[in-house]
Amino acid sequence: MVDIDSAVVTGGLGGSGSWVVDNLAKQGVNVLCIDQFGLSGDAPDNVSFYQADLTEQGEAWELIEYADPDAVIHFANIPEMGVFAGSRTFENNTLANYNVMVAAGRVGAEVVWTSSECTYGTVFTETTELPEYFPIDEAHPTGAPDPYGTSKVVGEEIANMVTRQYGVPITSIRPSWINYPGEYFTTEIRESFDPETAAITGDRNTHIPSGNFWSYIDIRDIVSLVDAVLDADIEGHEVYLGVADENYLGRSTAETIEAVFGDVPDECALEGEQSALSNAKAKAELDWKPAHTWRSALNEDVPGPSFVEN
């Protein structure tokens, strides 16, 4: 159980944010949800919904100052490349991140927000370069070649600025590809995967399986990671990768990377199906671990939040 009384969740009607809202509401937290869309279902008793454009500073600051929450969980960003023009993606995410984090700092609220695995620069790029080492961890250099990943890198710098200026703790979660129980999008890729013909470049659907080296995470484990952060004594700005223990192919990770990319870095400590992205820091510092795998989640019938269409 999280030890907070009130929270603002941005993007709380989205695929991931709605699960966070639902989880907090079930724990008795009073939640103010901000989203660009209006509510179509019935709101839980302790959740209020506001429609707003978080790139507008006045709207973001007014609602967060009105709520005066213990924590702000910020999920409201354009989630990938290929939806809008790159300039719009970068501008939207950067302005929203600035407005929300500064507003949280002004009211003294802790911030948990979703950065991305795309900060490493291997997703949404025409030529994926291998990282310096495997498994990739939070200390690995970042630097995305695309507007989406760059907006997340800038968002983490905004987090550094806000923690210095206002003294509030901010946690940047870098999720891997988020999947949902009973509708894992990894299934089609795994069932048709051939390392000899696996695409390294192409449209946005082929970037995801190659650029993140077949890593993923279940939405329920992202929810539990948010809870773990809220329960921890965070100081300053911390970054945690949110990723499952294993890849979703059911193959040796290192052997698959070498087959597809033609090489692996000299420093490669991957064993078996171990994820190419490391969750060791979150395990060690937050006492968190993923509880769900693609093998168990494929056919699970788990109802999603009742206030959004499933």
The two structure tokens encoding residue 286: 């937050």
Range of the domain at 70: 6-297
Question: Does residue 185 belong to any structural domain of this protein?
Answer: yes
Residue 109: closest CA among 167, 29, 39, 157: 167
pLDDT at 126: 66
Q: CB–CB of 26/46 below 8 Å? A: no
Question: Does residue 304 belong to any structural domain of this protein?
Answer: no
Question: Does residue 122 belong to any structural domain of this protein?
Answer: yes
pLDDT at 199: 59
| pLDDT tens track for 94-107 | 999 999 999 999 99
Q: How far apart are CA 229 and CA 74, in angstroms?
A: 13
Q: How far apart are CA 82 and CA 221, in angstroms?
A: 26
pLDDT of 167 higher than 70 = yes
pLDDT at 69: 98
Question: Does residue 198 belong to any structural domain of this protein?
Answer: yes
Amino acid code (one letter) for 152: K
| pLDDT tens track for 104-117 | 999 999 999 999 99
Calculate what percentage of the chain has a pLDDT beyond 70. 95
pLDDT range class, residue 209, cuts 50, 70, 90? very low
What number of helices (H) and strands (E) belong to the chain? 10, 11
pLDDT of 202 higher than 50 = no
pLDDT range class, residue 274, cuts 50, 70, 90? very high
Question: Does residue 74 belong to any structural domain of this protein?
Answer: yes
Question: Does residue 305 belong to any structural domain of this protein?
Answer: no
pTM of the model: 0.95
Amino acid code (one letter) for 49: F
Instruction: Supply the Cα-derived Rg of the chain in whole angstroms.
Output: 19
pLDDT at 22: 97
Beta bridge partners of 238: 171
| pLDDT tens track for 48-74 | 999 999 999 999 999 999 999 999 999
CATH code, domain with 29: 3.40.50.720
pLDDT at 52: 98
pLDDT of 259 higher than 80 = yes
pLDDT of 310 higher than 50 = yes
pLDDT at 43: 86
pLDDT range class, residue 19, cuts 50, 70, 90? very high
Q: How far apart are CA 226 and CA 171, in angstroms?
A: 9
Amino acid code (one letter) for 90: F
Q: Please tell me the total count of domains within the chain.
A: 1
DSSP symbol at 48: E
Amino acid code (one letter) for 1: M
Question: Does residue 308 belong to any structural domain of this protein?
Answer: no
Mean of per-residue pLDDT scores for the chain: 93
Question: Does residue 306 belong to any structural domain of this protein?
Answer: no
Q: How far apart are CA 107 and CA 110, in angstroms?
A: 9
pLDDT at 26: 96
| pLDDT tens track for 110-165 | 999 999 999 999 887 766 679 999 999 999 999 999 999 999 999 999 999 999 99
